[in-house]
Amino acid sequence: MKCKLSFVLFFLYHLVTNAQITINSNDLVDVGDKIYQSYDDNVSLINLGQPALNQYWDFSFLQVNEIDTLNFVDPNTTSYSNLYNNVNICLEQNGSVSYFHKSIDGMYLHGISDTVFDLPALFYPLPLTYGLSVSDGPVLVIDEVITGQFLELALPSSTVSVLTNGLANKADTAIIKILNTSDFVVDGSGTISLPMGSFEALRMKSIKYTTSELDIYCSDTITGIGTWINNVPFSSIPFLSGSENNLVEYKYEWITNDSNVHFLLAEVYVDSLDNILDGISFQVENTISEIKNLSIDLLEVFPVPTTNQLRIKYKADNDVKYDILDNNGKLIKSGFFRNNIVVSFDDLALGVYFLKITVDNNVFFKKLVKE
């Protein structure tokens, strides 16, 4: 009996182990690839899951709105190719160009547009497997000397006088150094469900630490006496107001090796407590937004805010399913209708709710408030 039990446990362990996916450089993007991403800022129903095996991330309810394109191109076709050596792929997005070198051990960022890093920073460690933990850095990515007209515009005499307590009135030279440190942990494995389908995926958490040092040499135009002001806070310079010398960025990414889609399925930025910041980006098919926008244009929901009842109209002859969810995603009411329906809110407490509408595999969410 013990032998049989041991064999069963070994067999089950072998199955679980082999079920985990591995993502190599060939699974990442190549020149010519385009990834279409949409963005949903309604994060109240998003559950990031736990750091564990056999996870299920249900993001099927995300709303497809405007589509952003991640365009991967040959570096030689870009404006700043002459500034870079040893790069083999570029990302063009929203007017910015990021230069990478992709190899079997990782994808490294060499610079952005005309800002060339002193040393490349690790962007993706490879191969990706569940349990992988990698640290990169600190890497000195920027070490620049700034002089001339730009420095004078950024640091006018009034600002220099404040920084030096009146000892100087002109900024002659500024040196900025930026150190980057990145920690990567592949902490989850399982299945992610998006509006375009379900896929095996790994979840990778990355933490990026950016430390910036700004040193400025200032002089007095009358006496000629100069002095270095070291470790200048960005916040003390109007040109950099709102910026910080030290930043920490937390991000989750869901990555797949499924050949039917591109590698990056979804990404979300969070704070140190895993609270989602802003929203979530997720991969979509290029045509899906046209279908969904057409469908959602047929939907009317009123009044919002509501008091005693909610009217829902769908201006097409389709069977429509509705669900009323509370602020925690718990199902309160559900039903079907065609064309229109009136849903009673008399028995619901005051507060925030969500209406989920399902039409022909299209899913829409709308925030409701009962006053």
Is pLDDT above 60 for 288? no
Q: In terms of domains, do 185 and 71 share one? A: yes
Q: In terms of domains, do 338 and 209 share one? A: no
Q: In terms of domains, do 309 and 272 share one? A: no
pLDDT the model gives residue 17: 41
Question: CA-to-CA distance for 99 and 111, rounded, in angstroms?
Answer: 5
Average pLDDT score, the chain: 87
pLDDT the model gives residue 367: 76
CB–CB of 89/70 below 8 Å?
no
E strand or H helix that includes residue 73: strand 68-73
Q: Show which of 224, 251, 283 is a domain's final residue.
A: 283
CB–CB of 312/341 below 8 Å?
yes
Domain of 323, in residue numbers: 298-370
- pLDDT tens digits for 76-108? 998 899 999 999 999 998 778 999 999 999 999
H helical segments located in the chain: 2-19, 149-154, 157-163, 288-296
Residue 289 lies in a domain: no
Using alpha carbons only, give the angle 219, 223, 224 rounded to the nearest 5 degrees. 40
- Which residue type occupies 238? P
Residue 214 lies in a domain: yes
Q: In terms of domains, do 85 and 163 share one? A: yes
Residue 268 lies in a domain: yes
Structural domain total, the chain: 2
The top-scoring range by mean pLDDT among 14-23, 31-40, 121-130, 299-308 is 121-130
Q: Show which of 260, 283, 306 is a domain's final residue.
A: 283
CB–CB of 357/363 below 8 Å?
yes
Q: In terms of domains, do 259 and 346 share one? A: no
pLDDT the model gives residue 7: 42
CB–CB of 332/268 below 8 Å?
no
User: Higher pLDDT residue, 10 or 85?
Assistant: 85
Is pLDDT above 80 for 329? no
Q: Which 3 state secondary structure label does DSSP give 338?
A: strand
Residue 194 burial (10 A CB sphere; 0-12, 13-18, 19+): buried
Residue 152 lies in a domain: yes
Percent of the chain with pLDDT over 90: 56
CATH number at residue 309: 2.60.40.3080
Residue 288 lies in a domain: no
Instruction: Give residue 10's pLDDT band: very low, low, confident or very high (50, 70, 90).
Output: very low
How does DSSP assign 203-245, residue by residue?
EEEEEEEEEEEEEEEEE-TTT--EEEE-S--GGGSGGGTT--S
Give the gyration radius of the chain's Cα atoms.
27
Calculate the CA 222 to chain-centre distance. Answer: 51
Q: In terms of domains, do 275 and 328 share one? A: no
Q: Which 3 state secondary structure label does DSSP give 11?
A: helix
- pLDDT tens digits for 237-286? 887 877 899 999 999 999 999 998 999 999 999 999 999 998 999 998 86
Q: In terms of domains, do 256 and 305 share one? A: no
- pLDDT tens digits for 163-205? 999 999 999 999 999 999 999 999 999 999 998 899 999 999 9
Q: In terms of domains, do 275 and 308 share one? A: no
Q: In terms of domains, do 205 and 278 share one? A: yes
User: Higher pLDDT residue, 307 or 232?
Assistant: 232
Q: What are the two backbone dihedrals, phi and then psi, of residue 97, each rounded to the nearest 5 degrees?
A: -125, 120
CB–CB of 350/371 below 8 Å?
yes
Q: In terms of domains, do 118 and 239 share one? A: yes
Residue 133 lies in a domain: yes
Q: In terms of domains, do 160 and 237 share one? A: yes
Q: In terms of domains, do 175 and 305 share one? A: no
Question: CA-to-CA distance for 87 and 89, rounded, in angstroms?
Answer: 6
- Range with the poorest average pLDDT among 114-128, 215-229, 282-296, 352-366: 282-296
CA-wise closest residue to 202 among 41, 23, 2: 23
Q: Show which of 283, 313, 328 is a domain's final residue.
A: 283
Give the residue-averaged pLDDT of 25-53: 90
Residue 32 lies in a domain: yes
Residue 141 lies in a domain: yes
E strand or H helix that includes residue 201: strand 197-219
Read off the tokens for 229.
């002001």
